[in-house]
Amino acid sequence: MDTPSPKSRLVALVLVIFLGMFGAHRFYAGKTGSAIAQLILTLTFFGMIVSGIWVFIDFLLILFGGFADGKGAKMSDWNGTALSAPTASGVGVADELAKYADLKQKGMLTDEEYEAKKKQLLNA
């Protein structure tokens, strides 16, 4: 899949380090089924060993950018891509919104024009 996941790789890494045995990083990534399996495995002694190996492998995958979310998109961005993904012009969404807000404040855009641009950027 070419599109990176909007989920933060940093958040996943912190979750796998501190709550990995309970599948927290998998719940965060949208992999609910395997997260529940990991949680159940952790409740048994033998399962805890298996789950520990699983968590270590997930840790390495997250650390090196090979971990995917529940939709198959790689979690490659340390901060997530929700607002930092570049738009068609190559500028991040947050930067574009700030630019339009500044134009609105200076009176160069009406409220309606600003809201239309904002809606267009956030739905893209």
Confidence of residue 5 (pLDDT cuts 50, 70, 90): confident
Q: Is the pLDDT of residue 18 over 70?
A: yes
Q: How far apart are CA 96 and CA 121, in angstroms?
A: 8
- Amino acid in position 37: A
pLDDT (tens digit per residue) in 53-111: 999 999 999 999 999 999 999 998 888 765 455 555 556 777 888 888 888 898 888 99
User: Radius of gyration (Cα) for the chain, nearest Å?
Assistant: 19
Percent of the chain with pLDDT over 90: 55
pLDDT at 81: 64
Q: What is the pTM of this model?
A: 0.65
CB–CB of 64/78 below 8 Å? no
Q: Is the pLDDT of residue 26 over 80?
A: yes
Q: How far apart are CA 28 and CA 36, in angstroms?
A: 12
CB–CB of 62/16 below 8 Å? yes
